[in-house]
Structure 1
Amino acid sequence: MNAKSESPRIYNLFPRLVGSMDKWVEHFKRIKNLGFNWVYINPIHYPGFSGSLYSIKDYYSINPMFLNPESSKSQIDQLKDMLEDCHKNGLLIMMDLVINHTAKDHPFTKEHENWYKRKENGEIKSPGAWDNGVWVEWGDLAEIDNETSSDRDNLWNYWKEVIEFYIDCGFDGFRADAAYAVPMELWRFLIPEAKRKNNVLFFAESLGCPIESTISLVESGFDFIFNSSKWWNYSDGWLLEQYSRTYKKVPSISFPESHDTLRLSVESNGRFPVIKKRTIFTAFFSSGWMIPIGFEYGFKKKLDVVNTIPEDWEEINYDITELIKNINGVRQKYDILNMEGQISEIYHSNRENVLILKKEDDRSSKMLLLILNKSDDRESECILPENFLSNKLSVIDCFDSDMKSIDILPGRSFVLKESEVFVILLSKG
């Protein structure tokens, strides 16, 4: 399979942590060795007064933090060199596409005043979010009126030209920031236009929006969405219910942590079995998988879109590179891990403490089985029910080599250590 026919195994190279683009090639080699096939880069554009990566002042200039001051090459030539280095390492690369807002000090706030939403007093509106019942406004951002602007055609064509420019530079895909906050009609215009130029992929940031909005994004042409498996407690019904509504329409991407979340090493209080459980579960759940830079080394500092600098690179807390290599290697080999499929829970006598999920699809001769101890504090026993499988299946691979010699049979008893999880690949028939 080539990289675009395989499911995306994405490494988020957070640019503020690694500095100028000429240094990124060292990471590309490491990323490829870990088994990833995509690199995701947060915004690289020239920022506004706050310095936030997501507060863009100039879509056609590069953040000085990512330029080599000793290079005689232009900004865009340095960008193209980076993209060429990425491709030489056998990796595809996507950039963040931020079109819901600009920096408050973007020249467009004066040159194209009718491109922005306004408050009742006439001031440009800033986007924000509710936090524990309190509205938090992001004052460094100016919210774009992509829906009702009186100059909508020119505004939409501007976004089209930005996308085409970065396709010409060499990007293979776009991660649409706050995709749900952008009118679906605009996506239905932009995505086909981009794909006519080159077969780029579009990834929708859909987290936090109602499931109906996610489905609307799917119908607007996105190739992938992100799912919320990172936050599942392994018991409540919402995750499998959401997945059942989307998996036939669009593939999705799981992640154990992201640049927007706390580090898993911190959330878990450094408890390695808990970390391993979430890592393996998210790698099982959907066809796409993503980790951010530093996850493999147990970094503790949250990535910050304003304040992170290369000096925040940490000493290795723990090293799970071999686990990640094994996960990516298994994911690359088998079709069932490169497609979505029906995920169903297997009911058994100790369902309160042990989760058993089965993932299968008629297009594949393989089946995935997950057995997971929900408890982080105690062992749990489970007995595979007598009606578990219609016939014996053979274990052909797994995310963790300890399971390769175990028979999967009705009535088979397991004692799982605290937080222990197995993902097993089975051959049907």
Structure 2
Amino acid sequence: MLWSCTSQRDAAKTITKPVSFVVTPDWARNAVIYEVNTRQFTKEGTFDAFAAHLPRLKDLGVDILWFMPIQPIGELNRKGTLGSYYSIRDYKAVNPEFGSLDDFKNVVKKAHEAGFKVILDWVANHTAFDHIWIKEHPEWYNRDENGNIISPYDWTDVADLNYDDNPALWDAMIEAMKFWLTETDIDGFRCDVAGMVPTAFWEKARKELDAIKPVFMLAEDEGQRDLMVNAFDANYGWEFHHIMNSVAKGEKNVTDIWKYFAKEDSLFPPSSFRMMMTSNHDENSWNGTEFERLGKGAKAFAVVTYTIPGFPLIYNGQEVALDKRLQFFEKDAIDWEKASDFTNFYRHLNELKKSNECLWNASNGGSFTPIKTDLPAEVLSFVREKNGNRLLVFVNLTDREQTIHFEDKEIAGSFTDQFSGLTVEIAENQPLILPAWGYLILK
């Protein structure tokens, strides 16, 4: 990658870039991930009801279906009526709210037949307070000075597991993960708060899981670089997500985006993926919908997540412009009948992702080079290029129309806008006008 500022490059050089020894499945090289909240996905909230949407999701163009936790939810200290998916009572069972184990196997089978891959949310850091391990293996839990099992943070519905000097816990947890690979044929895991569990555990798990079948592992973490060396293929682009939220509010600007990439490029192995998103289950339920946080810039920021290095996430409902916070502990179904131009918008982004090698994930994609303009703080401008496949991207990240003048003669030429199909001329003495939150992807 190339950066717009020498000082940023020099700062990045002070950090030694790690090397990844993870072998990422080939099918992930240009994949788009889609998060499934089974409870809220349909009025029924079941696997069978979800399966009816597979043809629609295939047409949308997503590749990896990430199911939020599907195991039985604890009743002791439960939050709300239905409880949190992340308070797991039994790692090897299915929440009857969603259906049976056979129902889930059927969904995975149908998904595979349609060309999808399936990963399951895995909660290794904590269990429900009525998990059988509480009675059978109380030594596997962290306790306070009075000997009481504790919760991590203020997550009062879950009990904190202790991985220190508990090899039997490591083995039991990995055996539970293997169960889902062998019994349901899933393709990997999204691992909740992965940084709160020892890296050595994840490395052991990855090795044993890969021995069964090649898996894709996504870490809900961004701070621990070592997770990406021998355990995970991808982690979260949390910092970038929060920068986008701040840019939308006018608290940051495009220069902060370039500072992020100067740092990010030095932190992680080039073959690892950063998951980029404008929403997910946490943001939607707790911090607001994309429209609350990003306003009229929701599409512009989505374009950014699809065209920068990384791989993009769609949270269920975004493709119909989901504009409500889905309740986390209660039933709150998505309305799929609402017509929205976001459906075609995301379908088109997914097509662009697949058909342009320069946009593929991580090191599978192309170079990422800033374009010099007179609006470095207002318009995110860059070139992606690989093997002759070249795209110019311009995104106005302000609520005002911007007139762009170019300082780089090498980008001059006649291009086709990948959204409208119109011809766009780029020349040194010919300004380019972008409306508020406007964007162009030129080829």
Select which of 141, 162, 170 maps to 2:158.
Answer: 141
Moved more, 244-253 or 178-187: 244-253
Identity among equivalent positions (%) equals 26
TM-superposed deviation, 1:105: 1.9
Task: Note the 1:1-400 alignment, pairs <5 A.
Answer: 4-17=27-40, 18=42, 19-49=45-75, 50=78, 51-67=83-99, 75-128=100-153, 137-146=154-163, 148-149=164-165, 152-168=166-182, 169-207=184-222, 210=223, 213=224, 215-228=225-238, 229-232=240-243, 233=247, 234-236=254-256, 237-245=258-266, 246=268, 248-261=270-283, 262-269=288-295, 271=296, 274-310=297-333, 312-313=334-335, 316=338, 318-340=340-362, 341-360=366-385, 364-376=387-399, 378-385=400-407, 387-389=408-410, 392=412, 395=415, 398=418, 400=419
Q: Report if the CA contact (8 A) 1:297-1:318 is conserved.
A: yes
SS of the equivalent of 1:59 reads coil
Give me the whole-angstrom Cα distance separating, in 1, the residues matched to 2:26 and 2:318.
Answer: 22
Give me the whole-angstrom Cα distance separating, in 1, the residues matched to 2:204 and 2:126.
Answer: 18
TM-superposed deviation, 1:45: 0.2
- 1:414 partner amino acid: L
- 1:258 partner amino acid: N
RMSD: 2.2
TM-superposed deviation, 1:328: 0.7
Structure 2 residue aligned with 1:401: 420
Q: Report if the CA contact (8 A) 1:330-1:397 is conserved.
A: no
SS of the equivalent of 1:126 reads coil
TM-superposed deviation, 1:392: 5.0
Deviation digits for residues 338-367 of structure 1, max 9, x if unmatched? 13344343332222322212334xx53223
Structure 2 residue aligned with 1:71: none
TM-superposed deviation, 1:43: 0.1
Change (3 A) 1:242 1:204: farther
TM-superposed deviation, 1:249: 4.2
Give me the whole-angstrom Cα distance separating, in 1, the residues matched to 2:378 and 2:87.
Answer: 45
Change (3 A) 1:355 1:309: closer
- 2:179 partner amino acid: F
- 2:204 partner amino acid: F
Change (3 A) 1:185 1:393: farther
Give me the whole-angstrom Cα distance separating, in 2, the residues matched to 1:424 and 1:252.
Answer: 24
SS of the equivalent of 1:157 reads helix
Give me the whole-angstrom Cα distance separating, in 1, the residues matched to 2:214 and 2:374.
Answer: 49
TM-superposed deviation, 1:160: 1.4
Q: Report if the CA contact (8 A) 2:123-2:192 is conserved.
A: yes
Q: Report if the CA contact (8 A) 2:305-2:311 is conserved.
A: no
Give me the whole-angstrom Cα distance separating, in 1, the residues matched to 2:213 and 2:429.
Answer: 53
- 2:203 partner amino acid: R
Aligned length: 390
Match status 1:414 vs 2:432: yes
Give me the whole-angstrom Cα distance separating, in 1, the residues matched to 2:167 and 2:189.
Answer: 22
Q: Report if the CA contact (8 A) 1:7-1:287 is conserved.
A: no
Moved more, 296-305 or 179-188: 296-305
Give me the whole-angstrom Cα distance separating, in 2, the residues matched to 1:406 and 1:300.
Answer: 33
Q: Report if the CA contact (8 A) 1:3-1:92 is conserved.
A: no
- 2:59 partner amino acid: N
Q: Name whichever structure is richer in strand by fraction.
A: 1
Greater relative CO (CA pairs within 8 A, separation 6+): 2
Deviation digits for residues 59-118 of structure 1, max 9, x if unmatched? 111111101xxxxxxx32222111111112211111101101111221211211111111
SS of the equivalent of 1:56 reads coil
Give me the whole-angstrom Cα distance separating, in 2, the residues matched to 1:199 and 1:268.
Answer: 37
TM-superposed deviation, 1:125: 1.7
Q: Report if the CA contact (8 A) 1:225-1:251 is conserved.
A: yes
- 2:235 partner amino acid: I
TM-superposed deviation, 1:255: 1.2
Relative to the length of structure 1, the TM-score reads: 0.85
Q: Report if the CA contact (8 A) 2:415-2:425 is conserved.
A: yes
Point out where structure 2 has 5 or more consecutive residues left out of the alignment. Answer: 1-24, 248-253
SS of the equivalent of 1:145 reads coil
SS of the equivalent of 1:203 reads strand
SS of the equivalent of 2:90 reads strand
